[in-house]
Every structure is written in structure tokens, then in C-alpha cells.
């Protein structure tokens, strides 16, 4: 796993062993995701929810995002994110929060331009968390969610509109935009 583009391009990122805690996004999916987001990144405030290794938020920072909050309920995953931020030289632009996604969203007072969601598969987490994500997304903001292909997702939810779906084998991306 590595950073694909930007200031930290080529930097190898650590991940927790096994797939019980994290499931890193494969490069092909990450390339597609960031090709779709490339013009939104410069200066953006990003939320990497279910951060795992932090690779999605780090990719956003490497490509010009102004800041990123990484949220994961696993203390071990948060330690990996901190290490990856240090390895890429992006520590100053990232903040790591060790808590459950729902708890973070319930008390969050920040607004984000981009929210990256990569929760555990087959749990219906994306659909369940979208209303709370909408509350912290700036008008005109974007949500990019990674799910297993075929996961049921709403077309509209709390001011979010499903704009596009992408398929990469058994993995799917869903792009939501918040109505202004």
C-alpha cells in the first residue's frame, strides 16, 4: 500500500496485520476514487471516517487537501494512522480521533468539504451513517463511500443526492453530493 500521487507520492504506508480491524483499499479503487475527486481536493477540509490505516485521508492530503480528521474506534488503527502521517511528513495537516464514528459525528461541530467512508462491508454502515454525515458536510460538499458491490444505498438522504456509482470487481464506490 502506497501513496499514489502528490507531495507524498510513493511513500509506503503501514497497515494493521489481518483483516479483522482494517481492510485497505486496493490501489485500483483508490486511483478511481481520487481521479473522480481531484478537482475538489486543493484546500479542502476532509473527514476520513473509519480511517483504518488512514490511506484515504493521507492520499487527499498528499494531493492538496488543507486538513483531514481521521476517525477510527480502534486504538491500534489510530496508532498506525499517526505513524503513516509521520512517514509522509503530513502530521501537521492531520488530526487523529480514537472514537466510534457515530459518537464523533454526534458531537462534531466542524464542517467538511469531503467525507471519505470506508466502513466494514456487509453491515449496512454507509446507509446508516449518511444522515449524520450530512450534518457535518458543507453545502456543495461530497461524500465518497466504498462498499461491497450490490450494497443497498439510498438515492437521497438528508440533503445528500447519489450522483454516481463506480464498480471495481466486488468493490463499489458511491458519490453523494450535498444540495446547496
Question: How many of the other CB atoms lie within 10 Å of CB of 102?
Answer: 13
pLDDT for the residue numbered 22: 52
Our measurement of the distance from residue 47's CA atom to the centroid of its chain's CA atoms, rounded to an integer in Å, reads 6
pLDDT per residue over 125-157, tens digit each? 888 999 999 999 999 999 999 988 888 899 999
pTM to 2 decimals?
0.92
Residue 149 DSSP SS3: coil
CA 40, CA 21: separation in Å to the nearest integer?
29
pLDDT for the residue numbered 23: 55
Burial class (CB in 10 A: 0-12, 13-18, 19+), 35: exposed
Average pLDDT across the chain, whole number:
91
| CATH class entry, domain 27-178 | alpha beta
Contact 143, 157 (CB under 8 A): no
pLDDT per residue over 65-98, tens digit each? 999 999 999 999 999 999 999 999 999 999 999 9
Mean pLDDT in residue range 110-129? 88
Place of cell 481492510: 23
Mean pLDDT in residue range 121-128? 80
Contact 70, 96 (CB under 8 A): yes
Distances (CA, A) of 115 to 10, 19, 122, 136: 24, 23, 20, 9
Instruction: Residue 49: name the closest of 70, 80, 23 by CA.
Output: 70
Residue 120: phi, psi to the nearest 5?
Answer: -55, 140
For residue 21, what pLDDT band results from cuts at 50, 70 and 90? Answer: very low
Contact 162, 149 (CB under 8 A): no
Beta bridge partners of 164: 175
Amino acid at each position: 500500500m502506497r501513496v499514489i500521487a502528490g507531495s507524498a507520492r510513493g511513500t509506503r504506508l503501514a497497515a494493521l496485520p489481518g483483516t479483522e480491524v482494517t481492510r485497505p483499499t486496493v490501489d485500483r479503487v483508490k486511483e478511481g476514487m481520487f481521479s473522480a475527486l481531484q478537482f475538489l481536493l486543493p484546500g479542502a477540509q476532509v473527514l476520513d471516517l473509519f480511517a483504518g490505516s488512514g490511506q484515504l485521508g493521507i492520499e487527499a492530503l498528499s494531493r492538496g487537501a488543507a486538513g483531514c480528521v481521521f476517525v477510527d474506534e480502534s486504538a491500534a488503527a489510530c496508532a498506525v494512522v499517526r505513524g503513516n502521517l509521520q512517514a509522509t511528513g503530513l502530521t501537521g495537516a492531520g488530526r487523529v480521533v480514537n472514537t466510534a464514528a457515530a459518537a464523533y459525528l454526534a458531537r462534531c461541530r466542524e464542517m467538511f468539504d469531503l467525507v471519505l467512508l470506508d466502513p466494514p462491508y456487509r453491515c449496512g454502515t454507509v446507509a446508516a451513517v449518511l444522515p449524520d454525515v450530512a450534518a457535518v458536510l458543507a453545502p456543495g460538499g461530497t461524500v465518497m463511500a466504498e462498499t461491497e458491490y450490490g450494497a443497498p444505498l439510498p438515492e437521497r438522504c438528508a440533503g445528500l443526492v447519489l450522483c454516481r456509482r463506480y464498480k471495481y470487481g466486488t468493490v463499489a464506490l458511491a458519490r453523494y453530493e450535498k444540495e446547496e
